[in-house]
Chains A and B, each alone.
Chain A
Amino acid sequence: MNAPSTETGIAARRPSRFSPITQRRLAVFRDNRRARLSLWIFAALFVLSLAAELIANDRPIVMQYQGQWYAPVLVDYPDTEFGGFLPSPADYRDPFTRDEIDANGWMLWPPIPFSYQTLDRALDHPAPSPPTARHWLGTDDQGRDVLSRVIYGFRLSVIFALVLTAGSLVLGVLAGGIQGYFGGKVDLIGQRFTEIWSGLPMLFLLIILASLVEPNLWWLLGIMLLFSWLGLVDVVRAEFLRARNLEYVRAARAMGLPSHLIMWRHVLPNAMVATLTFIPFLFTGAITTLTALDFLGFGLPPGSPSLGELVAQGKNNLQAPWLGITAFVTLSVMLSLLVFIGEGLRDAFDPRHIQHAATPRT
């Protein structure tokens, strides 16, 4: 054999990592200004909220005390470290500690010196107190800073929705794919099972659960995951049913490839189109469900930074409109951004858009 050295790897000489269809879809998405802008804003907000501890916290980011460096954001230092008497973690907002540190060094505070659970005892109004320079969006009825709670709540909602969506995606694609690809009895039994399963009342299960155990984030995620994948099954199943009789899938079977490889390499990429367009709506659904549960009081444990709880507070304290308005604006901005991104995705995957961009056939 005489393979010349110039021919290094046909496979490596690909023009791009993405297939041309994907590239065209990306182009369509980029052309949609509203969706692109929404994606950027949402991504920026999410990245910012990931660093919530550095933005809103009741302890300094870094400080120097008696010539030594401390990072209270990361490490719990006992009170005794700074001249106190208690072995418990230091309270940097305590006037005594603060004076002590300021006298022997300096502290760098986050822009909002309150965490989501910090109770501000030095309010000039009874809680809930209106917006001031100290609390930009006021405080809630327990004297906690609303802006800080919004930042943490946003992060919690998005992460919750992300994990839930990813989990539903895996379960839904797996269940739908197997039903659609194998068809026949598998499909029949699977379909009947999902029908019965989707008949179970999720809300009641959650309420019953709330009376049995102290619901935390993971409990909620688990319970909601049991049901949220059902919506995807039909979409994925239909795509797999269609694709399994396509000629290139048949050709792969004729080649002797095992089912899991065919499903992974040939069928799934096509089924993902319908699935991906579904994702933003799963996402918004997860956020609204969590908010609704928190609003009703069956959601996250008390004290958690949750947007639903803020809505509930707004409802209970109509004399403090900043609570309701903040909750409303946060939720509507977040959901609108997601819907715009979803729309952009849907259009990008719409074959008519792609054909429109292509030159007409003769």
Chain B
Amino acid sequence: MPEPLLRLDDLTIAFDDVTVVDRLTLTVQRGETLALVGESGSGKSVSALGAMGLLPSNARIEGGRRLGDTDLATLSGRGWRGLRGSRVGFIFQEPMTSLNPLHPIGKQIGEALRLHRGLTGKAARRRTRELLEQVKLPRAEELLDAWPHQISGGQRQRVMIAMAIANEPELLIADEPTTALDVTVQQEILALLAELRDHHGMGMLFITHDLNLVRRHADRVCVMHHGHMQETGAVDEVFARPQSPHTRLLLDAEPRGRPVPIGSRTPLLEARGVGVSFQRPKRLFSRRPPPFEAVKPLDLSVAPGETLGIVGESGSGKTTLALALLRLGQGRGEIDFDGARLDRLSGNDLRRQRRSLQVVFQDPYGSLSPRLPVFDIVSEGLRFHHPELSLAEVERRVRDTLREVGLPEACASRYPHEFSGGQRQRIAVARAIILEPRLVVLDEPTSALDRSVQKQLVELLRDLQARRRLSYLFISHDLAVVRAMAHRILVLKDGEVMEQGDCRQVLEQPSSDYTRALVAAAGLAAVD
């Protein structure tokens, strides 16, 4: 076996006596991709940052770390600067914030070239253009002078890759490089990374939580859990015969099963010609531009006990549509809900109707007020809509609801920050169902959670649906979750319905090219 490119021996990282990585040993060879996999908080990013000396000074790092023939443990500040960006390239998760918004793209890439190679002026510009072409960005010449806000998330991530490979590093560390991107873009970016790796003979450390990506894009895998390495080996080997129980759990974490069958088909919610358009600002001395149609008029209906999945990538108008249906955002068209014309209600009538129409949002950290204890959060709607209830009765209902969503009763007096993402999402569900609604809009309720937690939440939601005959409007970009939840789905792209129909049929025999691309990118595992 040749000398590995990166070698970590018993790497241990502790913050103020809390050990977050415990004796991690791994190697990365030239030309291969090692995937470091784990759920959030498993210590995967910290390991990579620690190995490269990028942690704050209160971190204590022990163990051997070598890059080629350089001992990283003894490197000085100057030594590090010569190494980072030149022999090691980094790609981070958030393409929106990792580019400086105040400098044009060409200048930001050129900076790495100037610092490490002394390239300036025309030479730097030529090389930058080459790099942009290498990462397959169209119109490279124009992009040199473009600003970060002018290009899309996927393009920004390509720019980040161009910066990372600018000095032809030996090792590329990609920390969740595609998590913030749409599925179809993810595939393109990862294919590009693989191509560049082969072209330059780089070693790649690919940090991710998504096993689906690991299966398709990595050679070897190293599974982490709570700072411990669970197992390591070739991808095929580990996926076929997982040794550690945690790996098995991770592999098994994809939401499975099918939604509960429904009985009646008389629609509970029926929307006809619902669309949303935003007025664009008028420029001085010019005609007002036509309004921007975020959602083109569409029809949909949901029966009692049914889940309608709304699928689409970012910017497709899923959330805008949901807000319009909830009468929380602007919109037009007819909305029939539970025997009332929702679009005509206002004031108190609308507020009363809202009891049966609830919502759970995506971000478990933003959807609960940090200043209220769980009891207040969950009981607020109940106390407002049913002022006749005594405090004891309200408490009893809060307790029952918390139990129903699988939370201990004792949590009622605690504050949201004491809970994990999955638990917070359960609190949000409790807040929605305590009013005994008939329809709950779930706006990406699982996308901020780890796979194994997602699975539990999906099961909880299905459970509640069966018990209470709830209808769901389930918004997601994740086909695996949608398949486990939805009876019917509606595929949105740029505010337009691409396809609408029975969930299984749409996923198995997509009729539009777009749906086909989505299904292919999602790489769904076969299900029963």
- Chain A interfacial positions (CB closer than 8 Å to B): 1, 3, 7, 9-11, 13-15, 19-22, 246-248, 250-258, 261, 265-266, 269-270, 359-360, 362
Bound Cα distance from A197 to B374, whole angstroms = 43
Instruction: Pick 25 A–B contacts, CB within 8 A, sort by A.
Output: A9-B391, A9-B395, A10-B375, A10-B395, A10-B398, A10-B412, A11-B375, A11-B376, A11-B412, A19-B370, A20-B418, A248-B366, A251-B359, A251-B361, A253-B328, A254-B359, A255-B355, A256-B354, A256-B355, A265-B380, A359-B18, A360-B15, A360-B56, A362-B41, A362-B46
Contact: A10 with B380, CB < 8 Å? no
Contact: A10 with B413, CB < 8 Å? yes
Q: Which A residues are in CB contact (< 8 Å) with B384?
A: 255-257, 261
Q: Which A residues are in CB contact (< 8 Å) with B358?
A: 254-255
Q: Which A residues are in CB contact (< 8 Å) with B20?
A: 362
Contact pick for B361, options A11, A20, A247, A362, CB 8 Å: A247
Q: Would you give the 0/1 interface string for B415-443, flagging 1 where the beta carbon is closer than 8 Å to chain A? A: 10110000000001001000100000000
Bound Cα distance from A266 to B380, whole angstroms = 11
Contact: A246 with B15, CB < 8 Å? no
Bound Cα distance from A115 to B325, whole angstroms = 71
Contact: A19 with B371, CB < 8 Å? yes
Q: Which B residues are in CB contact (< 8 Å) with A255?
A: 354-355, 358, 380-381, 384, 431, 435
What's the least CB distance linking B203 to chain A, in Å? 25
Say whether, besides A10-B398, A11-B395, A255-B380, A248 and B368 are in contact (CB < 8 Å): yes
- Chain B interfacial positions (CB closer than 8 Å to A): 15-16, 18, 20, 41, 43, 46, 56, 58-59, 227, 323, 326, 328, 350-355, 357-359, 361-363, 366-373, 375-376, 380-381, 384-385, 391-392, 395-396, 398-399, 409, 412-413, 415, 417-418, 428, 431, 435
Contact: A360 with B58, CB < 8 Å? yes
Task: Sort A-B residue pairs by CB-CB distance and give the 7 closest, nearest first.
Answer: A256-B354, A256-B351, A247-B367, A255-B381, A247-B361, A10-B412, A247-B366
Bound Cα distance from A359 to B353, whole angstroms = 44
Q: Which A residues are in CB contact (< 8 Å) with B435?
A: 255
What's the least CB distance linking A251 to chain B, in Å? 6
* Highest count of chain B CB atoms <10 Å: which of A20, A254, A266: A254
What's the least CB distance linking A6 to chain B, in Å? 12
> How many A-B pairs fall under 8 Å by CB?
107
Q: Which A residues are in CB contact (< 8 Å) with B41?
A: 362
B43 to A, closest residue via Cβ: A362
Contact: A248 with B413, CB < 8 Å? no
Contact: B15 with A248, CB < 8 Å? no
Bound Cα distance from A71 to B433, whole angstroms = 66
Contact: A19 with B361, CB < 8 Å? no
Q: Which B residues are in CB contact (< 8 Å) with A13?
A: 413
Q: Which B residues are in CB contact (< 8 Å) with A3?
A: 392, 396
Bound Cα distance from A1 to B326, whole angstroms = 34
Say whether, besides A254-B326, A256-B355, A269 and B367 are in contact (CB < 8 Å): no
A-B contacts besides A13-B413, A255-B435, A256-B350, 9 pairs, CB < 8 Å: A11-B391, A11-B412, A246-B366, A250-B328, A254-B359, A255-B355, A255-B380, A269-B369, A360-B59
Q: Which A residues are in CB contact (< 8 Å) with B59?
A: 360
Say whether, besides A9-B395, A10-B413, A11-B375, A250 and B361 are in contact (CB < 8 Å): yes
Bound Cα distance from A70 to B58, whole angstroms = 69
Contact pick for A257, options B366, B372, B381, CB 8 Å: B381
* Highest count of chain A CB atoms <10 Å: which of B366, B369, B431: B369
